[in-house]
Amino acid sequence: MLKKLKIGAVVVLVLGLLTGGYLGAAHLSGGSYYSFGLPLGGDRGALRRISTSFLEDVQFKDFKKAASYHRPELQDTVDIPFLLERLFMQKPELIDITRSEIMFVDVDSSGLRARLRCQVNILDLVQNKPRKQQFMLFFHRDTLESDWYMELESSLRTLDADQTKEH
């Protein structure tokens, strides 16, 4: 009986160490490893989760929810369908996003700016051709304790040239 108890304790200890090691690696990877729904990875993990949710909203054409990742004062003015058309060179209703992946997350030294490279597999419904497209998502926050907000609007809009500068 004592021998079975020792074997059981060793098995539990080994499983605990393996689980702890895996979850530690998931945290240190910035959330790039599957973490069983646990909020691991610090800021990088949070940005991965936000971006994954955003891409899912875009995949299911929930543009109001997709705009909610911007600053609250901008959410009503963000034109997600227009931005997607600029990005994919096709009207949003004519593309089918079949898969999305976060390639990397990069947070600057201040901890206030971040960028993510995303890759999506899409099916162009007009030409009936699949293709892959990569793009960057940019995030900012005011303080280290603030929420992250996407700046898709500013990165995909055509800006007017500054007339006070030479071109």
- pLDDT exceeds cutoff 90 at 25: no
**In this predicted structure, which of 93-97, 116-120, 163-167 has the lowest mean pLDDT?**
163-167
Q: How many CB atoms are located within 10 Å of the residue 143 CB?
A: 8
pLDDT category of residue 8 using cuts at 50, 70 and 90: confident
- pLDDT exceeds cutoff 60 at 165: yes
* The predicted structure's pLDDT at residue 6: 76
Please state whether the predicted TM-score (pTM) of the whole model is above 0.85: no
* The predicted structure's pLDDT at residue 42: 81
- pLDDT exceeds cutoff 70 at 55: yes
* Strand partners of residue 139: 114, 150
Q: What is the CATH number of domain 40-156?
A: 3.10.450.100
- Where do the structural domains in the chain lie, given as residue ranges? 1-30, 40-156
Question: Which residue stretches of 29-167 are H helix?
Answer: 42-59, 63-67, 80-88, 152-156
User: Max alpha carbon distance in the chain (Å)?
Assistant: 86
* Averaged pLDDT, 108-115: 94
- pLDDT exceeds cutoff 80 at 114: yes
Cβ-contact 88, 145 below 8 angstroms: no
* The predicted structure's pLDDT at residue 35: 57
* Strand partners of residue 149: 140
